[in-house]
Structure 1
Amino acid sequence: MMSSRVLFVCHTGSISGAELVLLDLVRPWIGQSALLFEDGPLHQALAARGLNVKVSPWGSGLNDVRRDSSFVKVVPAAGAMLGIVAEVARFARRHDVVYANSQKAFVLSAIAAKLARRPLIWHLHDIISPAHFGRMQRRVQVMLANHCTIKVVVPSKAAADAFVAEGGRKELVAIVPNGLDIPPETQTSAELRRELDLPQGPLVGVFSRLAEWKGQHVVLRALAKAPGVSCILAGSALFGEETYEQRLRQMVGDLDIADRVHFLGQRNDVPRLMRAVDAVIHPSIDPEPFGRTLVEAMLAEVPVIATDAGAASDILEDGKAGTLVPPDDPDAMAHAIRNAMSPSPAHAEQIRHAAARARSHYSVGQMLDATSGLIRQVAGEKA
């Protein structure tokens, strides 16, 4: 348990990639506080890790404000925003450091931390680029980061470069790769498939929330070119992306692959699912700031196919630890899938290399040491 008083702020109550990172980051901070803008599974998960969790009554007023929201949508939420700023500022005064774990949390915490005269760390889990944010949003984020934060934590050089390219101050950036540990597994792939009720035969898996930029539709088009290969999609539409999920379900019918594609929804047994498939696909069509599923698959000792965008090339060591394909290219993806279904000694060596790289570069212990050190340093700089 650490002595510094930390307030962790997150806008969502759902659990996706950034929230899984947060759940690991708070391990050393038993007894500290978390403020969420909405209730959900994250509340219970943080509480189980020993944090004092509060859910803001103002959070529902932000439901319609998203990354691509226009000024017209933001204005009606102004009252809720002011309410949250005041609430964060009030809690911040009882703490030494404010740690914002999401975009909405950062923007509102930046103002609140200034009002409360408390240092702010922003954990930036995204790549700030036109692919994900409008011009005004990018300007506001970078301006607030430059004037209100002590540190901006990013998971990769790709995310750091994007932040600086948009005008962010380079000296603010701390690159801390996400860390993962997965439990050991004694069952074979065949045993796991039977237990988890997964299809037999060649099988690939995609493990991500359902969102267009995550690229699940590219995998479906590739499967149409890879007869005999089935696919599981583990994840759901978490942030207003239900229309995309409906589109995917329509696609499997249109492509005549409905018997080979299985929508599993949100799962809490991803490492076991990964060990049951023949290859894990990471198909994002826009640059990823990290790629948690890549490291999970490497630790699970399963072949990885990933689009060469964002941090994937660094994680997979330019293709030495996995197969890289161009983004949004179903033909290249299909070729990689067919190749992965034909194991060879070279594939086995690549898997061993990938697992060793994941353990040496992306451990939870390394991530905790780095972030806890930053928090303690910032807490000491407060005065």
Structure 2
Amino acid sequence: MLSVLYVVDVDQYFGSPNELLVLLKAFQKQNQIRPVVLTAISGPLNDQLNNLGIENHVIGRVGWYVGTDRKWKKFVKRLATPLFYCIFKYQLSVAIKHSATVVDFSKIDLIHTNVSINPLGAYLAAKYHLPHIWHLRETFTTGNLFFTVPGHAISFMKAHADRFVAISEYVSNSWQSLGLPVDKIYQIADGIDSARIIDVNRRYSSTAYLKIVQIGSISDFKGQIRLIKALALLPEKIRKKFQVDFIGDGDSSYINQLKHLISREKMSGIFHLRGYVTNAMTRLQGYQIGVVSSPEGFGLTTVEYMMAGLIVIAENSGANSELISDGHNGILYEAGSVSDLAAKLNFLAENRETIPNLAHQAAKESISRYDVSKTASEVLALYTDLLSGQEKK
């Protein structure tokens, strides 16, 4: 049985920690991996790991970058880079020393860093001469980042990882364009436990409304405001055919902006902000449509929509077009175009008979391509290949 140390960053609610948890559950069923998890903070992920009997320790935050899109903030943070570097070095020192007190590194076979923004795994791998895998779950524009490690971040990553795992072609291409070597990047899609997705057989045409859900952080990046604006463009008799739930927490100012727009357009009876909901994906049987309005690195939520038999309307950006073939297993709209999104919503409202076939195809293909059992097998094969190569050296 392989012993693998996983390094997790501060986020414990959304994509990357949830995907790791799904993967570890799959490994647990196979009884082939003994995982140890290091988290930056204590939170719900630790509680779930404890419930599964998986060893985990809170090590502390090791942040190696500060990012912003605003020019004046960029200037200020550039001036403060020496301070950020000192903070980073202190956090790193504390985390490495703490790790040594809770983990027996002589029993660890390899280290798997779960997210690109936390370099602790790289430093631990170097210190204990262990192979290191770095998971790439997001894309970055280096001009918006202020790295607190000396030298160029890509050079550091190239020197401190034996393999990289990219969750989509989109993510892989993004990191290759920054300088990561193509021969070290392995594309393995995130996996979903399709067994927990509710049965998708239902009568779409008999429901009074077409119920839409958009799950994720409430933020400008996720683009909930575009859905509001799109429905506002439709005639009142069409918009009344929809009910929309936004599920998730986020920036209070952005949430207030959404509420103001909903009120101004007199759509308070259509849109509902439900807040953060535990196990939201188990409630998808109540919806017919899932909306994605952001350039996702993979689209974990998108695949869960598809597995549950929802028809997905997604913008044609990021990895969305890798998951969805327009008119075959979902619908794509022009990225950022409120009018095109409105047109696609209008089409579904007027042609409800098309929804079951698209939804059935989406469920069939997504379960075949993205069930976690497939992901777990591919990751385990990568571990085995890496370790066998280490033994030959």
Q: Same fold (TM over 0.5)?
A: yes
- State the partner residue of 2:23: 25
Distance 1:211 1:7, change over 3 A: same
Quote the offset at 1:45 in angstroms: 1.3
Label 1:243 to 1:75 Cα distance change in 2 as closer, same or farther (>3 A): farther
Distance 1:26 1:65, change over 3 A: same
- CA shift in 2, pair 1:176/1:80, >3 Å: same
One-letter code aligned to 1:366: K
Deviations 1:7-32 (A, max 9, x none): 11101252211111101121215642
| Aligned counterpart, 1:196 | none
Q: Which residue of 2 aligns with 1:145?
A: 157
Choose which of 34, 37, 43 in structure 1 pairs with 2:37.
34
One-letter amino acid of the structure 2 residue matched with residue 293 of structure 1: T
Q: Name the SS of the counterpart of 1:14 in structure 2.
A: coil
Instruction: Give the aligned partner of residue 117 of structure 2.
Output: 104
Contact 2:296 2:318 (8 Å CA) reproduced: yes
2:46 matched residue in structure 1? 43
Q: Please say if 1:83 is aligned against 2:94.
A: yes
Instruction: Pick closer, same or farther for the CA change 1:288–1:332 going to 2, 3 Å.
Output: same
Matched, 1:247 2:247: no
Matched, 1:171 2:183: yes
- 2:370 is the alignment partner of 1:362: yes
Q: 1:277 is matched with which residue: 283, 287, 299?
A: 287
Q: Which runs of 5+ in 1 are unaligned?
A: 192-198
C-alpha distance in 1 between matches for 2:374 and 2:381? 11
Deviation at 1:357, TM superposition (A): 1.0
Q: Give the structure 2 partner of residue 353 of structure 1.
A: 361
Structure 1: distance between partners of 2:257 and 2:97? 40
Residue 231 of structure 2 corresponds to residue 233 of structure 1: no
Q: Is the 8 A contact 1:7 1:92 kept in 2?
A: no
Partner residue of 1:220?
228
What amino acid is aligned across from residue 357 of structure 2 in structure 1? Answer: E
The 1:51–1:272 alpha-carbon spacing in structure 2 relative to 1, beyond 3 Å, is: closer
| Alignment match, 1:316 | 324
2:24 is matched by which residue type in structure 1?
V
Structure-2 separation of matches of 1:186 and 1:108: 41
- The separation in 2 between residues aligned to 1:65 and 1:165, in whole angstroms, is 19
Rg comparison, structure with higher value? 2
How far apart, in 1, do the equivalents of 2:281 and 2:17 lie? 17
> Which residue identity lines up with residue 115 of structure 2 in the other structure?
S
Q: 1:187 to 1:332 in 2, by over 3 A?
A: closer
Greater Cα shift, 309-318 or 219-228: 219-228
Q: Over aligned residue pairs, what C-alpha RMSD do you find?
A: 2.9
CA 1:86–1:343 in 2, change beyond 3 Å: closer, same or farther?
farther
Q: With the length of structure 2 as denominator, give the TM-score of the two structures.
A: 0.83
Q: Is the 8 A contact 1:118 1:382 kept in 2?
A: no
Please state how far the C-alpha of 1:265 moved relative to its aligned partner.
1.6
Q: CA deviation at 1:187?
A: 9.2
Instruction: Write out per-residue CA displacement over residues 361-381 of structure 1, whole angstroms, 9 at most, x where no aligned residue.
Output: 111110000111212333344
Name the % identity.
19
C-alpha separation between the residues in 1 aligned to 2:259 and 2:148? 32
**CA, structure 1 residues 283+114, in 2 after alignment: closer, same or farther (shift >3 Å)?**
same
Q: Does the CA contact (< 8 Å) of 1:9 and 1:36 recur in 2?
A: yes
Matches within 5 A, 1:328-343: 328-343=336-351
CA distance in 1, matches of 2:312, 2:11: 30
Q: 1:123 to 1:187 in 2, by over 3 A?
A: closer
Paired position in structure 2 for 1:129: 141
Q: 1:169 to 1:84 in 2, by over 3 A?
A: same
Q: TM-score, normalised on structure 1? A: 0.85
Mapped to 1, the partners of 2:332 and 2:226 lie a distance apart of 14
Alignment coverage as a number of residue pairs: 364
- Secondary structure, in 3 states, of the residue corresponding to 1:34? strand
* Residues 184 and 81 (structure 1), Cα distance of their counterparts in 2 relative to 1, 3 Å cut: closer
For the Cα contact (< 8 Å) 2:198–2:284, is it kept in 1?
no
Deviation sequence 1:280-300 (CA, Å, 0-9, x none): 10111xx32101121111111
Cα shift at 1:55: 0.6
C-alpha distance after superposition, 1:230-268 (max 9, x if no partner)? 21011112xxx4443343334333443333211112223
**Runs of 5+ consecutive residues of structure 2 not aligned to the other structure:** 69-73
